[in-house]
Structures are given as C-alpha cells and as structure tokens.
Amino acid sequence: MKRSFTILLALVLALSLVLAACQPKAPAATETSGGESGGETTAKTQTLVIGFTASQTGKYNVSSGRQVNGLNLWMKQINEAGGIKLSDGTVVTFKAVSYDDESNKDRVQELYTRLATEDNADLLISPYSSGLTAAAAVIAEQYGKVMLTTGAASDATYKQGYTKVFQMYTPASRYLTGAVDLLAKTDPSVKKVAFVYENSKFSTAVVEAAKEYAASKGYDVVLFEGYDPETTDFGPFINKIQDAGAEAILGGGHFQDGSAFARQLYEKNVPVKFVTLLVAPPEPDFADLGDAAVGIIGPSQWEPLAAFKPDFGPTGKEFEDAYMAAYSEEPSYHSAGGYAAGLVLEKAIRDADSTDPDAIKAALDNMDLTLFFGKIKFDTSPEAHGLQIGHSMIYIQWQKDGDKLGKQVVWPEDGATAEVLYPLH
Amino acid sequence: MKTLKNHLGLITSLVIVILIAIAPIVSGNAASREVVFTILRAIVLASSLNILLGYTGYVSFGHIVFFGFGGYVGFYLITAQGQSLWVAMLAGGVVSGLLAYLLGKAILRLRGAYFALATIGVNEAVRAFINNFEPFGGPTGMTMNFSVYQEYGGAMKALEMSFYIMLVLALLVVVLSYVVRTSKFGLGLLAIREDEDAAEVMGVVAPDAKTWAFVLSAIFPGMVGALFFFKNGSVEPLDAFPLHTSIEMIVMVMLGGQGTVLGPILGAAGYQRMRGLLVTSPIFKNIQLAVSGGLLLLIVLFVPAGVIGWARQRWPKLRRVLQ
C-alpha cells in the first residue's frame, strides 16, 4: 500500500513540478496532410502549415467539427490535385495542425501562440464562435499571421484595428436585414414589426442591427423583447405580440428556443403575416415541427439549394457530392464555410503568385469573387478591416409541395428557388 | 537565520512558484510563457479559494463570480473610461472584495450544502445581471481596440507584461495565504473549519472571521479577471462566469491538499499541466477529458488528503517545509 502511495505521489509531483518547470516540448498535434510533410521548403515544393483550434469537446463540438471537415476536404482535394503551381515553378501544398480548444477561452491564446511560434503556422483559421475568435485575433495580429475567420459572425471583432483578420461569414449586423428587404418587397403595406429574441450575444447583436435597419426603412417596431436562453413557454411573449398588433415577427436565437417559439405561434394561431427566426429554420430537424414549420423563414450562410454561379472553385452541387462521398452526411453551412475558407486562401495565393504573407494579405484585400458559398469581398477601411461586405445571407422558407415539406430559397432573388409563401395567416 | 527557519514553508512555496515560472523567463519562449500563464492563473485562483475552502471549510461552488465580476469592472474601466490596466486591476480587486463582503454578510450564515448551493445561485444571479446590464454591453459583452496595447509597447510587450504581472500576483497570493494560515486570524478560521460552534465558544467571532476570509479569497480572483480579459481583448457573460472553472478550482485545491499553502500551488500546476499535455497529446487528445477524470478519481481515492496533506502525515519531520 505504501508503495502505491509513493508511486502516486511521485506521479503527481512529477506532473506538478518537473513538467511545469521544464521547457515544454513541441506537442504532437493533429496533422492532416495529403502532400509533402514537414513544413519545409524544397527547391520546387513548399508546404504551408494551416493552424487552427477546433472545438472537439464542449458545446461547439458539432458546428466546429463540420467546419474542420469542410476545410480538410478542400485540403485533401488541392493536395491530391498536385497543389498550387506558382509562376516561379514552386508547387505549394498544405498541411493542417490543430488542437482542441474545448469550446472555451481558457487556452485559446495559449494554443494559437503555440501554432504561431512552435508549429510555425503560415496561415491561421479561427476557432468556432465570435468569443473564441476575439481571443485568437489578438495573437494572429501580434505575430503578423493572416487569419480567416469562419463561424465568427460578430462585427465587433473586425472593428478593433486588426489588419490580418478576414471574415468569411455575413456579419451579425446583416443577418436579418435581408428579411426586412424581403418583407418590404413582398408586402409594402406591412408596417408593424415585433422583435422577440434570445438574450444572448449573437442574437442580440443581430436584432439590434436589424431593428435599426427596420426603423430606417420606415417600420414601426412595436415590440423589442429579449427572452432567457432556457425559455420553453413563449405564451407571455405571444400575448405581447398580439397586444402590440404586430404584423411581422423577427428574432429567435438557437435551435431549441426557435423551434418551441415557432410551434407555439402555430398552436395559438397568432395572426401574423411573416415570421423569420434565427438559426433553427435552416436545420433539417426543423421539419419535425410538421405544419408548424410551414411558412417560417430563416437566414442561412449557405444552402445546397442556392444557385450561385461560382467564378472560382466547384459549384454547390459538386461540393455537396464530394462532401457526401467523404463524410456520408449532408454538408451544413459550417462545412461549406470551412471549405470556402480554404478556397479563399487558395485564390489569394494564386492571385499573389507567392506565399509571402504580405502578398497574401494584399490579395485578400483586393479579393472580389463569387464562390459556391456566395460572394466574397472584405472591407479594407481602417475602421472595419477584414469585415465581410460581399457575402449575403440566404433566406429559406419551409413550404409544402403536396404533402411533402421542404426548404426553398426565397431570398435573394438571384438565388431563389421558389416564390415566398405569404401571408402566413 | 532563525527567522528564515521559521518561515521555511513560505520560502518553499515561493521558490516552487518561481521554479514553475522560470523556464519561459530564461528561454523567452512565447508558447511556453502562455502555458505557464495558464498555470499561474490557476495557482492564484486555487490559492485564493483555499483561504475559504481549505482554512475555513466552506465550499464555494460559485467562486468564479469574483473573477468574472472583477474582470468586467476592470475591462469596462479600460475600454469605456480609458483607464490603465493598473487602475483596472486595482478596481477589479476592490469591487470583488466589496461584493464578497456584502455577500458574506448575507450567505455566510448558511452552512454546509446550503452555503454551497447559495454560491452557485450567486454566480448565476450576477451573470444574469451582467447579461442585462447595458453599460457592460449586455449579452454581447465588450471588445477592446487593438491599439490599447500600444500604450504598453505593443501587443507582444503587453502579453509578456501580463505574464510577469500574473507571476507577481501568484507570489502575492502565496504570501497572503501563508500570512493568513500562520496568523491568529487564520487559527480562528481553522477552528471554524473543525467545529464552528466550539470556535465561537472559544471566542472566535465566526461571522466576522468568515466574512473576512471570503473577502480575502475574492480580491485576487477579481484582479486576475481584469488582467485575463485585458489579455484576451474581449469579455462576454458566458466566458466570465463559467461554472466548470469553479469546480476545477475546487479540484485543484483538493488535489494538492486543502488547508495548506503549498497544496493549491501543486494542485493547480499539476492539474493544468496534465490538462495541457493531454490536450496536445496525439494519443490522448480525443479522450483527454475522460483520462483527466480517471486520473483525478484515482488520486482522490488513494490520496484523499491531497498530495501535501498525505506527505505531511507520512513524513512529520517535513511539516515545517510543507505548509
């Protein structure tokens, strides 16, 4: 017994003292590569290291995992295709190095510093979520590494004076503005709008911007009310909506609350003409609501249905097929965002005809292209450098074709697959 | 010489903290510095909690509230009021201490599980308050402009400076922990831990002593919060009040040995280093939480008094050193 105690003590002391005091060795991180290994330059081949953290555990696990799947698919394809050939004859291939950030901020800066200094990452991809990205951006900027952010929609990060951080997603401030445009186009007589939203970072940022936009378009915001993320009973909010005489509802938050809200609006037969909710409607599981889902509109960063004509990279269909073949599941917009981030890096290197970080940054600054994911263009003003100004949300609506319930793209007009179902009641 | 001998426990603890921090100081390696920053942060949080948990015997499941609240106040002063990091940290510590004083008056009358439950409630209540408090950015939180780092010689220098400040805080909290433990006030706290009613009979004014222990255990987490969010460049309610970090703090204290000065230091360093290694280990990275849970279970099963508690029992002669 004494012996086991001694062993345990030795173990703990070894962990706490020796390891803590010693110079940490370079960790063996996850490495994904389809090409040359080692991150070294030979006469003709150069392997660029793409570093990022993924949320392999914790609340962002699913979304982050799909984002990484998308990025890895792009990397596999480009490496298998022989990499990027520059005019000086150099062939550029890619290798990924990643760590688990556990969906929390505690170690994000620690791991990004490691990526930048120990793993010598040439390019960085952000963690999933705006909060983690804000912490990583400080490190990216500090070490002068270009970082593409996916899954980080908050505008605030891009207004802090960063010059190396570039956003792939439509920012939160424009998440719901398209819904206001859609409503204005569909029925100019509607004037009374209610905003009922989850009291969380993301939803609040979205609705505050949308409220301002709606007011600027002449809408009367009759209700602006946040609810707790744990809310399951929307009765009191529905009563307020009815009392305020709202004709349209915008808001929601995440999947659980958004689904419950949509179901209760249907059950109480609330006489509104137009409902747009965040996050929940684009999810395939939203169909479980049955008739309650019909007519509900939701914004999405990308949908397989969207018919964009890309001037670089695969079409939406080609991406979807390749993703299905690789992972045996439908790609979500997170997957598409990860893949598109790879495409943007690829295009920037091709445009720069170099792997020099400054040249890649300049190419990103000048970028203006359409991918299967949508349009990509970055703000280059000092006030909001890197903010996404090209990409727009796609708005889907659940519609019934006979007995079959399905999603249709209803906005923007150039990507629409069906007329909007209006009014709801 | 005699004075030195009398304070061997303090010297040992301080030397160990410096040993933990020495590698990045000597090598100047940024990645290593970040790893040690996380460890030092854990040492400050665990040693602070130890004043309440280890010395007084009160389990606070919501102790991270002081880290979050101090962090928020400090961050607000830097971003909205243009104050320096020094003012922010000072304010973070003061408001956290003040919050602990007011809370202590109210909830330290509760004992055992009731107190533990109340602390969880306090954490959630403060988070809900911050979530609805517009000057602090409500649910969206606050973000700091990158140019703020220029005042400290650029981001590189600011991050390096944060490490040294954290080291100073860790050394200070160790001194505080030692002073409390060896003072008359500390003896009162230990008496409360053993039997609160008996302590009162013996003349310890338990409500006052407990409140001051609570205040002392809250000040440094508040200062660390201000420093941590300054370094991160943003703060939001979910990051500022993570309940799981409260639980990790308790684990670190128990692991090293509650009620000792050195215990929380070793517990925090060991736990954080273990997590850090598992997260980046190719073998364990996908099951790192399960592995760390299993290791903790083993340690708690076989060494319930914590490493230092066990070592003190095993080698009584070392008690002067292992305090």
Could you state, in chain order, the average pLDDT of each consecutive group of 10 residues for chain A (425 residues)? 45 40 41 46 79 84 88 96 92 93 86 93 92 91 93 88 94 93 94 92 90 95 90 94 94 89 94 92 87 94 84 92 93 92 96 94 95 93 94 92 89 85 86
3-state secondary structure of A51: strand
Contacts of B244 in chain A (CB under 8 A): 104
Taking the C-alpha atoms of residue B32 and residue A24, their distance in angstroms, rounded to an integer, is 6
For B76-111, write each residue's pLDDT tens digit: 999 999 999 999 999 999 999 999 999 998 888 888
- The identity of residue A397, as a single letter, is Q
DSSP A365: H
CB nearest B145 (choices: A24, A27, A161): A161
Between A and B, how many CB-CB pairs are < 8 A? 178
| pLDDT on residue B108 | 86
For B158-181, write each residue's pLDDT tens digit: 999 999 999 999 999 999 999 999
Number of Cβ within 10 Å of residue B242's Cβ equals: 18
**CATH class for the domain made up of A25-170+308-377:** alpha beta
CB nearest A160 (choices: B34, B39, B145): B145
Q: Which residue on chain B is closest to A135 by alpha carbon? A: B232
Interface probe, candidates B34, B167, B228, chain A, greatest A C-beta count within 10 A? B34
Q: Give the CATH number of domain A174-300+393-415.
A: 3.40.50.2300
| pLDDT on residue A30 | 52
Q: Which residue on chain B is closest to A107 by alpha carbon? A: B38
Contact B177, B51 (CB under 8 A): yes
Contacts for A278 with CB less than 8 Å, ≥ 6 apart: A175, A176, A197, A198, A202, A203, A206, A251, A252, A253, A254, A258, A298, A299
Q: Spell out the alpha helix ranges (H) of chain B.
A: 2-6, 8-27, 30-50, 64-79, 85-107, 112-131, 155-182, 184-194, 196-201, 206-232, 237-240, 243-256, 262-280, 288-302, 306-314
Average pLDDT, chain B: 90
Q: Which residue has the higher pLDDT, B275 or A292?
A: A292
CATH of the domain at B158: 1.10.3470
For B10-62, write each residue's pLDDT tens digit: 999 999 999 999 989 998 889 899 999 999 999 999 999 999 999 999 988 88
| pLDDT on residue A223 | 95
Contacts of A22 in chain B (CB under 8 A): 23
Contacts of A171 in chain B (CB under 8 A): none
Let me know if B308 is exposed, middle or buried by CB neighbors in 10 A (0-12, 13-18, 19+).
Answer: buried
Total domain count, chain B: 1
| pLDDT on residue A140 | 94
Q: Which residue on chain B is closest to A105 by alpha carbon? A: B239
Are B132 and A57 a contacting pair at CB < 8 A?
A: no
| pLDDT on residue B274 | 85
**Does the structure show a pLDDT above 80 at B282?**
no
Q: How far is CA A86 from CA A45, A92, A135, A353, B233, in A?
A: 10, 8, 34, 5, 37
| pLDDT on residue A75 | 96
| pLDDT on residue A43 | 54
Contacts of B257 in chain A (CB under 8 A): none
Are B273 and A4 a contacting pair at CB < 8 A?
A: no
Alpha-carbon distance A23 to nearest alpha carbon in chain B (angstroms): 6
Are B27 and A23 a contacting pair at CB < 8 A?
A: yes
Considering only CA atoms, give the Rg of chain A: 24
| pLDDT on residue A285 | 82
Q: What is the location of CATH 3.40.50.2300 in chain A?
A: 25-170+308-377, 174-300+393-415
DSSP A18: I
For helices B243-256 and B64-79, the axis angle rounded to 10 degrees is 120
Are A17 and B147 a contacting pair at CB < 8 A?
A: no
Q: Give, in degrees to the nearest 5, the angle at Cα B142 between B136 and B147.
A: 130
How confident is the model over B178-199, as a mean pLDDT? 92
DSSP A388: B
Q: Which residue on chain B is closest to A120 by alpha carbon? A: B31
Across the strands, what pairs with A49? A95
CB nearest A9 (choices: B154, B239, B310): B310
Of A128-142, B237-251, B284-298, give the lowest mean pLDDT range: B284-298
**Does the structure show a pLDDT above 90 at B135?**
yes
Contact B180, B323 (CB under 8 A): no
The residue segments making up the domain with residue B257 are 2-320
- Specify the pTM: 0.85
Are B280 and A114 a contacting pair at CB < 8 A?
A: yes
